[in-house]
Chain A
Amino acid sequence: MSMQAQGTQYAALFRPGRIGRFETRNLIKYGACCVSNYNERDGTITPRELARTRVIAATGCGLITNQGAYPDPRGEGKAYFRQVAIFDDRFLPQFEAIARAIHDGGAVAIQQILHAGRYGGIDLGYCVQPSVVPQTLPHFRPPREMTRDDISQCIREHAEAAARAIRAGFDGTEVTSFMGYLLANFNSKFTNQRGDEYGGSIRNRGRFMRELIDAIKQATPGNPLVIRLNGNELMDQWGGNSEDECFELMAQAVECGIDMISVTVGWQEAPASSIGRDVAPGHWNYLAARAKRLFPNTLIAFGNRLPDPGMANDCLVNGEFDFWEVCRPLLADPDMVHKIREHRGDEIRRCIGSLNCLSRLFRDLPYTCTMNPALGHEVEPEYAVTPAAVKKKVMVIGAGPAGMECAITAAKRGHAVTVFERGARIGGSLLGYAGHDLARPEDLLSVIGHYEVMARKLGIELRFNTEANPKFMRSMLHRYDVCVVAAGARIDLQAYAALPGHERLLDALEVASGRVVPGKRVVVIGGGKIGLALAESLRHGGAEVTIVEQAKRIAGDVMPSFKWRHTAWVEELEIRTLLQSRVLRVDADGVTVADANGVETRVPADSVIAASPRKSNQELFAEFEWMIDELHGCGDALIPRGLDAAIHEGYRLGVRL
Chain B
Amino acid sequence: MDIATDALLDLPAWQAILDREAAVFTELAPGASVAFVPRHAAGPDGVLRPSAMPSVAPLEVLAWERGADAMTAYARSYRGLAAAACDVLFFFERDALEAVLARADDGPFGEMKRRIRAGRILLMVLRTREELRARGYEDFLESLGLPFMGACR
| Known contacts A134-B125, A564-B145; is-contact A239 B50 (Cβ 8 Å) | yes
For residue A215, CB closer than 8 A to chain B, the reply is: no
For residue A218, CB closer than 8 A to chain B, the reply is: no
Query: A561's contact among B82, B146, B151, by CB below 8 Å, is which?
Result: B151
Chain A interface mostly? loop
- Kindly state the separation between the CA atoms of A276 and B122 in the bound complex, as whole angstroms: 22
Q: For chain B, which range describes its interface: under 10, 10 to 19, 20 to 34, or 35 or more residues?
A: 35 or more
For residue A135, CB closer than 8 A to chain B, the reply is: yes
- Which B111-143 residues have a C-beta within 8 angstroms of A? 113-114, 116-119, 122-129, 132, 137, 139, 141-143
User: Chain A residues near B149 (CB, 8 Å)?
Assistant: 139, 362-363, 560
User: Chain A residues near B152 (CB, 8 Å)?
Assistant: 179, 268, 275, 355, 358-359, 361-362, 561
For residue B54, CB closer than 8 A to chain A, the reply is: yes
- Which B7-54 residues have a C-beta within 8 angstroms of A? 23, 50, 52-54
| Known contacts A141-B128, A560-B147, A563-B147; is-contact A270 B153 (Cβ 8 Å) | yes
For residue A132, CB closer than 8 A to chain B, the reply is: yes
For residue A552, CB closer than 8 A to chain B, the reply is: yes
Pair A274/B125 contact, Cβ less than 8 Å: no
Pair A138/B151 contact, Cβ less than 8 Å: no
Say how far A233's CB is from chain B's closest CB, in angstroms.
Answer: 12
Interface residues of A, Cβ cutoff 8 Å to B = 125, 131-142, 145, 179, 193, 237-239, 266, 268, 270-276, 355, 358-359, 361-363, 552-553, 560-561, 563-564, 567-568, 571, 580, 596
Pair A272/B146 contact, Cβ less than 8 Å: no
Say how far A553's CB is from chain B's closest CB, in angstroms.
Answer: 6
Pair A134/B126 contact, Cβ less than 8 Å: yes
- Which B57-112 residues have a C-beta within 8 angstroms of A? 81-82, 89, 110
Pair A571/B110 contact, Cβ less than 8 Å: yes
- Kindly state the separation between the CA atoms of A363 and B152 in the bound complex, as whole angstroms: 12
Say how far B55's CB is from chain A's closest CB, in angstroms.
Answer: 10
Q: Which residue of B lies closest to A274 (CB)?
A: B153
Q: Which residue of B lies closest to A143 (CB)?
A: B81
- Kindly state the separation between the CA atoms of A275 and B151 in the bound complex, as whole angstroms: 12
Pair A237/B151 contact, Cβ less than 8 Å: no
| Known contacts A564-B145, A564-B147, A567-B145; is-contact A137 B125 (Cβ 8 Å) | yes
Interface residues of B, Cβ cutoff 8 Å to A = 23, 50, 52-54, 81-82, 89, 110, 113-114, 116-119, 122-129, 132, 137, 139, 141-143, 145-153
Say how far B153's CB is from chain A's closest CB, in angstroms.
Answer: 4
Pair A142/B126 contact, Cβ less than 8 Å: yes
Pair A362/B124 contact, Cβ less than 8 Å: no
Query: B119's contact among A145, A193, A237, A553, by CB below 8 Å, is which?
Result: A237
User: Chain A residues near B125 (CB, 8 Å)?
Assistant: 134-138, 140
User: Chain B residues near A363 (CB, 8 Å)?
Assistant: 149-150
User: Chain B residues near A136 (CB, 8 Å)?
Assistant: 122-125, 146
Query: B52's contact among A133, A145, A268, A273, by CB below 8 Å, is which?
Result: A133
Pair A138/B137 contact, Cβ less than 8 Å: yes
17 A-B pairs with C-beta separation under 8 A: A133-B81, A136-B122, A137-B125, A137-B146, A137-B147, A138-B127, A138-B137, A140-B128, A145-B54, A179-B152, A237-B119, A358-B152, A363-B150, A561-B151, A563-B147, A567-B145, A596-B23
9 further contact pairs, Cβ within 8 A, besides A137-B147, A274-B153, A571-B117: A134-B126, A137-B146, A139-B149, A142-B126, A193-B53, A553-B139, A553-B142, A561-B152, A571-B114
Q: Which residue of A lies closest to B119 (CB)?
A: A237
